[in-house]
């Protein structure tokens, strides 16, 4: 279990959230939802130690999360990625083996073979030599999923992976997330499309400058929670009889 306790983050003087406590279960896909600017990306980055937190501890199976660096796959929100870096799809995916390679060891033939297998799994073999800046949103997300496959990460965190991607890529990625879930991995997805929440996630965290609620999706994804976090109008649309859920 990934356990966050007492986590407080502020950029300069402005607090984003204070004393956040939340758990993420292994063998579950947990969605994080909340309005723009609610602190979703900040929560992820603070959990991973990528930004400084004022207070708090984050543990994974009872040990500090930072001891598990090599077992974490994290894909930033697309707007934060530097896509001008000249690197091919194949080489990005191959970096998934780095955690397991010894210092100065070159990837082996077997690593390169595994890389191809992962690319096949996400249907990107023909794009292996393409620069990452020249991919569609869906292809790019699939590259990162292939990288996580190679990494064999235990904790997979994706920040808004489905923004601006095609439905086929979204479906393919969800299928792989389900497979990982069934293998007992811990999967966290920051998500913005409320329509698919109950369809995609086992557990749900609602964040709005603090935890509004978290737990099994059926308990948390309720009209009352959506109304107080987003708006009564949105809640009415989402939970209208016969409406999308
Ligand atoms: P979300 O991912 O939920 O949209 P963020 O975590 O990106 O929200 O941002 C939470 C709040 O922190 C917002 O008000 C945002 O403007 C602010 N913020 C995010 N990153 C920074 C930063 N690097 N410096 C200062 N403020 C930031
Ligand atoms: Mg964000």
What does the pLDDT look like over 101-124, one tens digit per residue? 566 677 889 999 999 999 999 999
28 touches 187 (CB < 8 A): yes
Its domain, for residue 158, covers 2-238
- Phi and psi (nearest 5°) for 8? -125, 130
Read off φ and ψ for residue 210, nearest 5 degrees.
140, 165
Q: How far is the CA of 37 from the centre of ligand 2 (A)?
A: 7
| pLDDT number for residue 166 | 92
Q: Is the pLDDT of residue 26 over 60?
A: yes
Bridge pairing between strands 155-159 and 186-190: parallel
Distance CA 44, CA 47 (A): 5
CATH number at residue 211: 3.40.50.300
Residue nearest (by alpha carbon) to ligand 1 atom 21: 11
Question: What average pLDDT does the chain have?
Answer: 92
* Token pair listed for 198: 């109950």
Range scoring the smallest mean pLDDT among 23-27, 32-36, 191-195: 191-195
Model pLDDT, residue 84: 85
* pLDDT score of 204: 98
* Stated length of the chain: 245
Max distance between CA atoms of the chain, in angstroms, equals 60
- Closest by CA position to 107, among listed 151, 154, 153, 155: 151
CA torsion angle 70 71 75 80 (round to 10): -30
The per-residue pLDDT for range 148-200, each reduced to its tens digit, is: 999 989 999 999 999 989 999 999 999 999 999 999 999 999 998 998 999 99
For the chain, the domain total comes to 1
Asked if residue 168 belongs to a domain, the reply is yes
- pTM score: 0.93
For residue 58, report the distance from its CA to the centre of ligand 2, in Å.
Answer: 20
Q: Detail the DSSP E strand segments found in the chain.
A: 2-11, 14-24, 28-33, 55-60, 63-64, 72-75, 155-159, 186-190, 203-207, 211-216
- Closest Cα partner for 152 from 115, 193, 102, 122? 115
Percent of the chain topping pLDDT 70: 96
User: Residues lining ligand 1, CB < 6 A?
Assistant: 11, 16, 34, 36-42
User: Would you say residue 205 has pLDDT above 60?
Assistant: yes
Asked whether residue 220 is assigned to any structural domain, the reply reads yes
Do the domain assignments include residue 244? no
Closest C-alpha to ligand 1, atom 24: 11
Flag whether 245 is in a domain. no
196 within 8 A of 23, measured Cβ to Cβ:
no
pLDDT at 22 over 70: yes
Q: Note whether residue 122 is domain-resident.
A: yes
Inform me whether the pLDDT recorded for 64 exceeds 60.
yes
**Strand, coil or helix: what is 5?**
strand
Contacts of 102 (CB under 8 A, 6+ apart): none
243 lies in some domain: no
Q: Whose CA is nearest to atom 11 of ligand 1?
A: 37
- The answer to whether the CB of 194 falls within 8 A of the CB of 226 is yes
CA angle 111-113-119, nearest 5°?
105
3-state secondary structure of 215: strand
DSSP state of 160: S
Which of 8, 40, 42 is the best mutation target for the ligand 1 pocket, counting ligand atoms within 8 Å of the beta carbon and taking the most? Answer: 42
């Amino acid at each position: 279990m990934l356990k966050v306790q007492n986590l407080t983050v502020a950029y300069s003087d402005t607090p984003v959230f204070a004393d956040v406590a939340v758990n993420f279960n292994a063998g579950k896909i947990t969605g994080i939802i909340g309005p723009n600017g609610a602190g979703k990306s900040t929560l992820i980055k603070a959990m991973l130690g990528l930004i400084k937190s004022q207070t708090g501890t984050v543990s994974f199976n009872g040990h500090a999360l930072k001891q598990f660096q090599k077992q974490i796959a994290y894909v930033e929100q697309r707007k934060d990625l530097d896509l001008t870096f000249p690197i091919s799809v194949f080489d990005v995916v191959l970096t998934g083996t780095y955690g397991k390679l010894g210092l100065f060891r070159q990837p082996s033939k077997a690593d390169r073979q595994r890389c191809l297998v992962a690319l096949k799994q996400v249907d990107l073999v023909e794009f292996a030599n393409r620069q990452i800046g020249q991919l569609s949103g869906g292809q790019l997300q699939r590259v990162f999923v292939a990288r996580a496959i190679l990494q064999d990460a235990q904790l997979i965190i994706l920040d808004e992976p489905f923004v601006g991607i095609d439905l086929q890529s979204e479906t393919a990625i969800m299928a792989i997330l389900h497979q990982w879930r069934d293998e007992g991995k811990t999967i966290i997805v920051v998500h913005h499309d409320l329509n698919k929440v109950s369809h995609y996630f086992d557990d749900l965290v609602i964040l709005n400058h603090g935890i509004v609620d978290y737990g099994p999706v059926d308990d948390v994804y309720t009209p009352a929670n959506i109304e107080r976090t987003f708006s009564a109008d949105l809640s009415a649309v989402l939970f209208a009889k016969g409406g999308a859920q």
